[in-house]
Chain A
Amino acid sequence: GQNIDQPTEMTATEGAIVQINCTYQTSGFNGLFWYQQHAGEAPTFLSYNVLDGLEEKGRFSSFLSRSKGYSYLLLKELQMKDSASYLCAALDSNYQLIWGAGTKLIIKP
């Protein structure tokens, strides 16, 4: 079956760095998305990776290893507003998005 695994919850300190991991098993693979979702709000797009390596976008970076079925989202210089859920989603061979349950990130002062 198809599956996305990511930690349920993580806690980090304001100003620090946090890495949120995601492993995926899908029928074929056409890319990996990360979305941010604040409580009670809609998900918003953060990144898309289809090739191995690191993509940097300001304070956020996303990494992909296709051979390991693994991705991570790296958040630097954490701010209180980064408290949210982070959703990992893989695009399978039928171009269907398979979503993880999300990682709730709690930022403490």
Chain B
Amino acid sequence: NAGVTQTPKFRVLKTGQSMTLLCAQDMNHEYMYWYRQDPGMGLRLIHYSVGEGTTAKGEVPDGYNVSRLNKREFSLRLESAAPSQTSVYFCASSEGIMNTEAFFGQGTRLTVV
């Protein structure tokens, strides 16, 4: 039972470098999300998708692009990393929105120097 798998687990980037975080779920969920988690703050939604081929902006979308490759996979791309993007990133998926739990990946700890 894999659930939600995201890669990589850790990464250090230099300012201006790019990278893609990958997320895959095997629960046939329609909804997928990318969050960032910073100390002393709640999870903040970056982008989300309500189905294959759809994406939408969340609370903090600037500096990030996403792609819903198919029903299983949802990627997050940083085109030109900045130190302010140092954070722990979580991918999540859910069957719906109301009264449905979200399942989270194990997180990616990203440091931008």
Name A's B-contacting residues (CB within 8 A).
4, 8, 30-31, 33, 40-45, 48, 50, 87, 89, 91, 95-102
Contacts and interface: CB of A to CB of B under 8 A. Distances in A.
Given A41-B106, A42-B104, A42-B107, A50 B42 contact: no
The 3 A-B pairs at the shortest CB distance, nearest first, are namely A99-B42, A45-B101, A42-B104
Contacts of A50: 98-99
Given A42-B106, A44-B104, A31 B42 contact: no
Nearest to A44: B104
Contact of B98 (A4, A30, A87, A99): A30
Question: What is the interface of chain B mostly: helix, strand, loop, or mixed?
Answer: loop
Given A4-B42, A89-B42, 5 more contacts: A40-B107, A41-B106, A95-B97, A96-B45, A96-B58
B43 A42 contact: no
Contacts, number: 51
A97 B99 CA distance: 12
Question: What is the interface of chain A mostly: helix, strand, loop, or mixed?
Answer: loop
Contacts of A43: 43, 90, 102, 104
B2 interface: no
Nearest to A6: B42
21 contacts: A30-B97, A30-B98, A31-B99, A33-B101, A40-B107, A41-B106, A42-B104, A42-B107, A44-B104, A50-B99, A89-B43, A91-B97, A96-B59, A97-B43, A97-B45, A98-B42, A99-B44, A101-B40, A101-B41, A101-B42, A102-B42
Contacts of B101: 33, 45, 48
